């Protein structure tokens, strides 16, 4: 058997997320079907994480095992079989014990917004016209750094062994026509980034004070935090491993 790790990006607008479900088109389901047909053997994909309905990925990895060594033209042929909202960028042969999900040490998400109406980015960025205090939002974001219990921002009734995550980066970045919130952690809870972003925006418009935001984190109560923001602006941006992904 041969193990390969594959790097892709996708626009999640027309998908029910990464993970295969009983109903609805998913990224995993579509790629798994196309590669299995191409190789004429059933393959199973193991993703580096999961994204929900409508969420995008700039860099997403999965691994799979094959009976035969992949030919050089596999990347090109796979791209020709996939729709325009999914692109395969790299295929690497890796060690058989490597796992795309469990070997990842850090993940970074970005949430994109734009302050002026823009018809060209509506599917990958949220139009947000309210006046925002970025300095105050950054002070709130700084409170996320460290090892903390993020139950207040977790999807209710999710089956998590722990709600503790280690956040190493949380920042707001502005440009002329767009801005985004970026957060990096060792792991993320389901819906966590969207809930945090929505609550930070409440701080930015004066709905929630800085001290209230600190209390929300400490409360470990989802009902105290703000609403989860729309999925369209969320990207899984980067995934890091403790080693270079070179061929085995």
One DSSP character per residue, 82-142 reads S-TTEEEEEEEEE-TT--TTTT--EEEEEEEEESS--TTSTTTSEE--S---HHHHHHHHH
In the residue annotation, 52 being an active-site residue is answered as yes
Q: At what angle do helices 192-204 and 134-142 cross, to 10 degrees?
A: 140
143 CA to centre of own chain = 21
Instruction: Report which secondary-structure segment, H or E, holds 16.
Output: none
Q: How far apart, in Å, are the Cα atoms of 135 and each of 91, 130, 140, 185, 228?
A: 41, 15, 9, 22, 21
235 CA to centre of own chain = 5
Q: How far apart, in Å, are the Cα atoms of 146 and each of 14, 79, 101, 150, 164?
A: 35, 40, 22, 11, 10
Angstrom distance (rounded) from CA 222 to CA 208 = 15
Instruction: Report which secondary-structure segment, H or E, holds 19.
Output: none
Cβ atoms of residues 92 and 245 within 8 Å: yes
Catalytic residues: 52
């Amino acid at each position: 058997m041969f193990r390969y790790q594959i790097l892709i990006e996708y626009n999640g607008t027309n998908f029910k997320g990464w993970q295969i479900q009983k109903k609805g088109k998913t990224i995993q389901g579509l790629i798994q079907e196309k590669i299995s047909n191409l190789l004429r053997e059933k393959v199973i994909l193991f993703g580096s994480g999961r994204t929900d309905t409508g969420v995008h990925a700039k860099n997403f990895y999965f691994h799979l095992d094959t009976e035969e060594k992949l030919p050089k033209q596999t990347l090109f042929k796979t791209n020709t079989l996939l729709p325009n909202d999914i692109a395969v960028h790299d295929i690497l042969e890796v060690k058989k014990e490597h796992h795309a999900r469990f070997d990842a040490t850090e993940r970074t998400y970005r949430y994109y917004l734009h302050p002026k109406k823009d018809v060209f980015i509506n599917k990958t960025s949220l139009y947000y016209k309210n006046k925002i205090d970025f300095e105050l939002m950054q002070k709130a974001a700084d409170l996320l750094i460290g090892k903390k219990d993020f139950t207040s921002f977790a999807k209710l009734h999710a089956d998590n062994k722990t709600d503790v995550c280690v956040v190493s980066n949380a920042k707001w970045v502005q440009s002329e026509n767009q801005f985004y919130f970026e957060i990096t952690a060792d792991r993320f809870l389901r819906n966590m980034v969207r809930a945090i972003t929505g609550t930070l925006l409440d701080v930015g418009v004066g709905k929630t004070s800085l001290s209230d935001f600190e209390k929300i984190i400490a409360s470990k109560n989802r009902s105290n935090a703000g609403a989860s923001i729309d999925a369209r602006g969320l990207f899984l941006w980067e995934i890091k491993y403790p080693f270079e992904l070179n061929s085995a």
